[in-house]
Structure 1
Amino acid sequence: MEQAFGLVHHGTATVGGRSGITANTICCDVCIVGAGPAGLAAALRLADLGRDICVVAPLPGDGNRRWESLTPGAWKILDALGLGTALAQSHCLLSHAASVSWGDREVNRDGHAEVTFLIDRARFDACLMDAARRRGVRLLTPAVASRPQKIGDAWLLPVTTDQTTVSLCAAHVIDASGRKALTGSRRHRLSPATLALCARWRGPPAPPGVTRIEATAESWCWSASLADGAHYAAVFVDPRSLRAARDEPATAFLAAVGRSSPRWDGTLASPVTACDASASRIARAPGLEDTIAAGEAALSLDPLSSQGIQRALVDGQQSAIVVNTLIVHPERRRIAVAFHAERQAEASRRDSAMCHGLYREQATTYQSPFWSRYCGQDTPVEHQLRSPVPLDNLLPETRLRLSPRARLEDTAVIDGDLIALAPALVHPELDRPVAFLAGRSIGSLLARAFSGASAASLFDGWRADSLPEGTALELLRWFWQRGLLVDSSATDAS
């Protein structure tokens, strides 16, 4: 297999300035371990930047073919990566209808909800791999990588294929190997242990693409109707309940479904598979801190958020930009790595706060141990904008200045294809520092505000800088209602 790459060197290799390594060696700029959405998004972005990329794709997993929801946001990211046409061929289903039974709410949305997509993960990942191959990414598959070793300034990874074992030499490593995390060590659970039991089943007929979410006293379920008339379901349970009852996954799956509404009536059409679905964060192993972890090799979100694929795609692209920065500007390592860590922590906080609210809502309906354990976690409070400043107080002649509670400070941001420092606005009403709005630097947008310009002159100045009228008006409202720009004649208390 490796011979087809034309990249294998036999005999003694020189790696990172040190010679004496004898092996079949494949050399590249960046090795990416894992071929899921995070790894392949990173590979595509780096390939577009002209980097020499090799992806180590593991053996296909056994068990059921999983179906998952793909949010419109995730589809936009894929389209931006140039994958819109390719993904149209991955047999995804449009989902216009959904049924949600949560807390004391029963919601049926038919034709009016934001359209989502149902994807067969096996076909979806294969489609991404084909796109990466066409874009010049080199794939070692099926192959399994062992933990990398730092040799001089480079990394050496033993890789086992179905034919032989080779060594892969790379200047940088992105670990996108999933929850097992090739370069990880300690796992910190961010939510109570949750087990996903997944299977296909035959039940009452439904139009293809209909999704359903339903909660019971001891579990919650997600299902989707498929084009072949079958259904795919994932049931989320406390793994301790299986151990206590000594249940097999199929028994627990059927018991959980049996506690749901009659709409879940049916029979199993496949084996039941079980996998960890807990939200968690993975620390890098000692000596491997210089590797970059992406996707679930760094952070697993709560499945209730349905943001897993979208977050993986975002994280993969950000990982690519971090690595590109390390290649072009190695002196920026500290700010690039810090930027990536903060984006991952931010995603974790946002996801945890959102899911905690949903679990708390459910716990008021079912006062059971399953739900109460989620509410007992120390969960960050979701940031909420205080009562917005009334727009009636903003007049064209109002003279504006930056709020005393706001400040501009240099922050690591994405600037094109690199991580760089740029002035960012920091304020208690912002979830994070803001460096760019509407494609403009925050410094340039606020330059006129420092001189006490009127609202009308600030608006006209933005329009003169080629901002559309609607965008300029929205920016003015955004700054004002959050208290970022204030009336220069008002006191700090007001």
Structure 2
Amino acid sequence: MTRPRHSPDVLVAGGGPAGVAAALTLASRGADVVLVHSAPEPGRHVLESLSPLARPLLRGLGVLDRLPSACHAPCYGNQSSWGGPALRSSDFLHGPYGAGWHVDRAPFDAALRRAARAAGVRLHAGRVRSVARHGSRWRATLSGTVMTAPYLVDATGARARLARGLGARVVHTDHLVAVTAEAPVVLPVPDDPYGTRGGPERTSLVESTPFGWWYTASLSHGRHVLMAVTDADLVAGAGLRTPEGWWAALAATRHVRTRAAAHRITPPDRLRVLPAGTSRTLPPAGPGWVAAGDAAAVTDPIAARGITHALATGIAAATALTEEAEGDPRAPSRYAALVDAVHDEFLRARAACYRGEERWDTPFWTRRGTHGGVTRQAAGATPGSSR
């Protein structure tokens, strides 16, 4: 049967993990889905960690074996210096799902879209510029055409462009940024979890500092990523506006500096400043539409759960639309309540994590309530534990 080219059952705006997860889930249930995607913004994504918990989600979507090794490097665990100078380690090797990944987002997202196309999702290059309700359908103006559909998924990222156009608002908890640089890895030794053989460590490393915290990890095909994370209004005071100041701040660390030296990393020529703040969209769903991934809620990168959250909300969003199409008008509100509950739990875990660092009476930490006493539970929280 030939389906109307410009009248799918569901229009998904956004070709990242959330949009693809929603599209694949809907297509597997027989829906005609158009996935609208645009070229990635240069420098928007440098590196993201993928928790082992994402593996069953990818497997369930039928894409785990379709992701080429060129788009990810193994992550065997986390190392952190948080709440004290010592370096603590946690590994994934003995967990039920195996290693995590350090993901290079552009090729990762492209591989996901290829898998969606193979599953029958129709891809449309461009951007949804506006949507409006016309009777029982959405009328979407796209780059170069107009489409109508009874159901809509907003997976446009943290700006939640479509949801805001429908009356939702984005509420920010903070304005965190990551000041980032890439460098080549000089000594590539594969599968060396903690760098014991002189090669690049296949772990992520987090080290707290008075202005915030540092993150570093090795990517595939000879690259290393380092990022200083702080509030946007503290960047200048921390000296992070210039490569020279950023390098001086790195030199003041203990563990990140050691890893950079081991990889013979030299001062960067340029920096990228990426938004990394926490926010949520209210509401994240309504009759005939749902927001997924960052368009629903954005989490602090200290939790390393962005892609996992995107996949999970994409699947849940598709389920909500399916249930609504089958006659349950309350499905979008149940999905919205789920997103809100998960985000509230994340905020509690994040607060516990930040309260675990009490060494500095500086603006970054006092804003996060790290002084005035720490509970036993909060003191035990570590970066990555709020996934």
TM-score, normalised by the number of residues in structure 1: 0.65
Q: Which residue of structure 1 aligns with residue 334 of structure 2?
A: 339
CA change 1:227–1:145 in 2 (3 A) is closer
Compared CA separation, residues 129 and 252, structure 1 to 2 (3 A): farther
Contact 2:186 2:222 in 1 (8 A): no
2:343 match: secondary structure: helix
CA drift of 1:230 comes to 3.1
Q: Is 1:172 matched with 2:142?
A: no
Q: In 2, distance between residues paired with 1:204 and 1:127? A: 27
2:127 matched to 1:144? yes
Which whole-Å CA distance do the structure 1 matches of 2:301 and 2:321 have between them?
A: 28
The one-letter code matched in structure 1 to 2:326 is: V
Q: Is the 8 A contact 2:211 2:238 kept in 1?
A: no
**Could you give the per-residue CA deviations for residues 400-431 of structure 1, whole angstroms, max 9, x where no partner exists?**
xxxxxxxxxxxxxxxxxxxxxxxxxxxxxxxx
The 1:310–1:249 alpha-carbon spacing in structure 2 relative to 1, beyond 3 Å, is: farther
Structure-2 change in CA distance of 1:269 and 1:277 (3 Å):
same
Distance 2:343 2:30 in 1: 31
Confirm or deny: 8 A CA contact 2:71 2:220 kept in the other structure. no
Alignment of 1:106-117 (within 5 A): 106-108=87-89, 114=95, 115-117=99-101
Distance 1:166 1:34 in 2: 16
d(CA) in 2 for partners of 1:96 and 1:178?
A: 28
Per the alignment, do residues 284 and 253 of structure 1 end up closer, same or farther by CA in structure 2, a change over 3 Å counting?
Answer: farther
- Distance in 1, Cα, partners of 2:306 & 2:113: 19
How far apart, in 2, do the equivalents of 1:65 and 1:302 lie?
15
Q: Which moved more, 1:224-233 or 1:73-82?
A: 224-233
2:35 is aligned, of 55, 58, 65, to 55
Q: Which amino acid aligns with 1:238?
A: D
After TM superposition, give the deviation of residue 61 of structure 1 in Å.
Answer: 1.2
Q: Offset at 1:249? A: 5.9
Q: For 1:239 and 1:63, how far apart are their aligned partners in 2? A: 17
Tell me the equivalent position of 1:366: 360
Q: Which residue of 1 aligns with 2:277?
A: 278
Q: 1:268 to 1:339 in 2, by over 3 A?
A: farther
Cα 1:247–1:111 change in 2 (3 A) is: closer
Q: Compute the TM-score of the two structures, normalised by the length of structure 2.
A: 0.82
1:196 to 170, 174, 178: 178
Change in Cα spacing, 1:222 to 1:242, as seen in structure 2 (3 Å) is closer
Q: Using the alignment, how far apart are the partners of 1:129 and 1:249 within structure 2?
A: 36
Aligned equivalents of 2:93, 2:292: Cα separation in 1: 35
Q: State the secondary structure of the residue aligned to 1:77.
A: helix
Secondary structure at 2:361's aligned position in 1? coil
Unpaired segments ≥5 residues, structure 2: 188-198, 379-387
C-alpha root-mean-square deviation of aligned residues, in Å? 2.9
Supply the AA of the counterpart residue of 1:220: W
- Do the aligned partners of 1:67 and 1:120 also contact (CA within 8 Å) in 2? yes
Give 1:284-299 correspondences, 5 Å limit. Answer: 290-299=288-297
SS at 1:148 equivalent: strand
Aligned positions of 1:313-332 closer than 5 A: 313-329=311-327, 332=328
CA distance in 2, matches of 1:249, 1:42: 40
Cα 1:178/1:270, change in 2 over 3 Å? farther
Task: Write the distance in 2 (CA, Å) between the matches of 1:94 and 1:239.
Answer: 31
Contact persistence 2:52–2:92 (CA under 8 A)? no
* Identical amino acids, percent of aligned pairs: 27
Using the TM superposition, give the Cα deviation of residue 147 of structure 1 relative to its aligned residue in structure 2, in angstroms: 2.1
User: How has the CA–CA distance of structure 1 residues 208 and 88 changed in structure 2, closer, same or farther, with 3 Å as cutoff?
Assistant: farther
User: Offset at 1:208?
Assistant: 5.4
- Alignment partner, residue 304 of structure 1: 302
Q: CA deviation at 1:94?
A: 1.6
Contact 1:216–1:259 under 8 Å retained in 2:
no
Letter in 2 for 1:240: D
Mapped partners of 1:240, 1:365: distance in 2:
21
Cα deviation, 1:457-482, whole Å, max 9, x if unaligned, reads: xxxxxxxxxxxxxxxxxxxxxxxxxx
Q: 2:250 maps to which residue?
A: 257
Shift of 1:65: 5.4
When residues 91 and 349 of structure 1 are mapped into structure 2, their CA distance, relative to the original with a 3 A threshold, is same
CA distance in 1, matches of 2:60, 2:211: 41
Partner residue, 1:126 = 110
Letter paired with 1:150: R
TM superposition shift of 1:222: 1.3
Aligned residue pairs total 349
Question: Is the 8 Å Cα contact of residues 282 and 297 (structure 1) preserved in structure 2?
Answer: yes
Q: Does 2:218 match 1:225?
A: yes
**CA-CA distance at 1:283 after TM superposition:** 2.6
Q: Which residue of 1 aligns with 2:349?
A: 354
Gaps of 5+ in 1: 9-25, 385-494
Matched to 1:147, the amino acid is S
The SS at the match of 1:183 is helix
1:354 partner letter: A
- Answer yes or no: is the 8 Å Cα contact 1:242–1:252 preserved in 2: no
Helix, strand or coil: the match of 2:367? Answer: helix
Deviation sequence 1:327-379 (CA, Å, 0-9, x none):
111xx212x122111111121112111111110111x12222111101279xx
Deviation at 1:269, TM superposition (A): 5.2
1 CA distance for matches of 2:303 and 2:76?
18
Report the CA distance between 1:219 and its aligned residue. Answer: 1.9
Q: Give 2:205's aligned residue.
A: 212
SS in structure 2 opposite 1:375?
coil
